Amino acid sequence: MQEEQKHVIVGGGVAGIYLGMQLYLKNEPFIILEKSGDNDDRIGKLVSKVKSIPKPKTGGMKQQTFELGASIFHSNQTEFIHLLKFLGLDDKIIKFDSKMKSLFVYPGMSSEAAQAKFLEIKNKLKRASITSKYETIDQVAKRVLTTQDYDLLATCWNCWYENNQMNAKTYFDAEAQEGQTCMLRGGLEQITRKARAIFKDKYKCYHTVKYVDKLKDGKIMIGFRDDQDQAKVVFTDNIYLCLSVNDYSNIRLDNLLCVLQYIKYVHYLASLRFYVVLKEEPPNAEYDEIVGDIESKWILKYNKYVWLGPYVDGELADVFRDKKQERIVLGVLRDLGFENPSVESQVYDTIGAYWMDAFEVLRPQFFAENPRLFRLEPGVFCTSVPQPKDQAWMNGHLFQL
For residue 92, tell me if it sits in a domain. no
Which pLDDT score, from 0 to 100, does residue 39 have?
62
Q: 274 by DSSP, 3-state: which?
A: strand
Same domain, 333 and 221: no
For residue 351, tell me if it sits in a domain. yes
Domain boundary residue, one of 140, 175, 210: 175
For residue 96, tell me if it sits in a domain. no
Same domain, 232 and 374: yes
For residue 64, tell me if it sits in a domain. yes
For residue 94, tell me if it sits in a domain. no
How does pLDDT run across 176-187, given as a tens digit for each residue? 888 899 999 999
Q: Does 2 have pLDDT greater than 70?
A: no
Q: Does 120 have pLDDT greater than 70?
A: yes
Q: How far apart are CA 6 and CA 380, in angstroms?
A: 12
Distance of CA 347 to the CA centre of its chain: 27
Instruction: Give the chain's mean pLDDT.
Output: 92
Number of residues that make up the chain: 401
Same domain, 219 and 287: no
Kind and range of the H or E element at 317?
A: helix 314-321
State mean pLDDT over 81-86: 97
Same domain, 375 and 238: yes
State mean pLDDT over 194-211: 95
State mean pLDDT over 186-204: 93
Which pLDDT score, from 0 to 100, does residue 50 have?
79
Which pLDDT score, from 0 to 100, does residue 34 have?
95
Helix, strand, coil distribution of the chain in percent, nearest 5: 35, 30, 35
Which pLDDT score, from 0 to 100, does residue 293 have?
97
Same domain, 209 and 324: no
Q: Does 1 have pLDDT greater than 70?
A: no
Same domain, 318 and 204: no
Domain boundary residue, one of 114, 145, 175: 175
How does pLDDT run across 40-73, given as a tens digit for each residue? 656 777 777 878 888 876 677 888 888 888 888 9
CATH number at 257 reads 3.50.50.60
Same domain, 126 and 275: no
Least confident of 126-130, 165-169, 249-253, 355-359: 126-130
Same domain, 319 and 339: yes
Same domain, 129 and 152: yes
CATH number at 348 reads 3.90.660
How does pLDDT run across 212-246, given as a tens digit for each residue? 999 999 999 999 999 999 999 999 999 999 999 99
Q: Does 164 have pLDDT greater than 90?
A: yes
For residue 82, tell me if it sits in a domain. no
Same domain, 275 and 390: no
User: Closest Cα partner for 55 from 279, 310, 260?
Assistant: 279
Domain boundary residue, one of 151, 175, 199: 175
For residue 33, tell me if it sits in a domain. yes
Which pLDDT score, from 0 to 100, does residue 87 have?
97
Same domain, 271 and 335: yes
Query: 305: buried, middle or exposed (CB in 10 Å: 19+, 13-18, 0-12)?
Result: buried
State mean pLDDT over 294-314: 92
- Structurally, the chain folds into a number of domains equal to 3
Distance of CA 9 to the CA centre of its chain: 20
For residue 93, tell me if it sits in a domain. no
Same domain, 260 and 271: no
Residue 282 belongs to domain spanning: 51-73+267-359
Q: Does 381 have pLDDT greater than 90?
A: yes
Phi, psi of 237, deg, nearest 5: -85, -25
